[in-house]
Amino acid sequence: MNLIRSSQRLREGTRLLLRKLGIFERDEALCCGVTYAQCHAVVEVGRKETLSLNELAELLNLDKSTVSKTVDQLVKNDIMLREPGQKDRRYVTLTLTTEGYELFQSIEKRMEAYFTEILDSIPENKREQVIEGVQILSDAMQKTECWCRERK
């Protein structure tokens, strides 16, 4: 019998999960006509209604310059508004335009339907266990330094 270490099983399961969710296809229009990164930016701003560029970068776990480029494209496409702060022009406030809010609602509706369908395909007596497992995994990943950084 070929035994595979638990860490390898976790790695492979997570890798396939991320691939299925389209995580690695960042530059393609995957999400209602916008890129994956733009989709996440729209969702985060839509949920909070107003966010600073720094807050968005923190929520997306990306550096400010990467988020700024993503936001630039959303502003150019009339999906998001970028306004400098009144006291400090370096502080940038982000909100959705009417078109952006409609996109946000569409994304939320589609994602709800998608994850409802996934949940419906899991045996009812295992659903809470799956949800709890995903939350535990997410929490553990938040506490652990990225795998791509060299360990001391």
Q: What is the mean pLDDT of residues 148-152?
A: 59
Comparing 33 with 42, the larger pLDDT belongs to 42
Model pLDDT, residue 86: 75
Q: Which residue has the higher pLDDT, 60 or 20?
A: 60
The stretch 43-68 carries a mean pLDDT of: 91
Q: pTM higher than 0.75, yes or no?
A: yes
Mean pLDDT of 101-116: 91
Residue 106: HSE in the Cβ half-sphere, 13 Å Cα cutoff: 13
pLDDT-derived band of residue 17, with 50, 70 and 90 as boundaries?
confident
Phi, psi of 52 (to 5 degrees): -85, 160
**Sheet of strand 51-52: strand arrangement:** 51-52, 92-96, 80-84
| Burial letters 107-129, b for 16+ CB under 10 A, else e | beeeeeeeeeeeeeeeeeeeeee
What are the E-state strand segments in the chain? 29-31, 34-35, 51-52, 80-84, 92-96
Domains of the chain (ranges, CATH numbers): 13-143 (1.10.10.10)
pLDDT tier for residue 106 given thresholds of 50, 70 and 90: very high
- Lowest mean pLDDT, pick from 15-19, 27-31, 102-106, 124-128: 27-31
pLDDT band at 1 (very low <50, low <70, confident <90, very high): very low
Helix/strand/coil for 50: coil
11: pLDDT strictly greater than 80: no
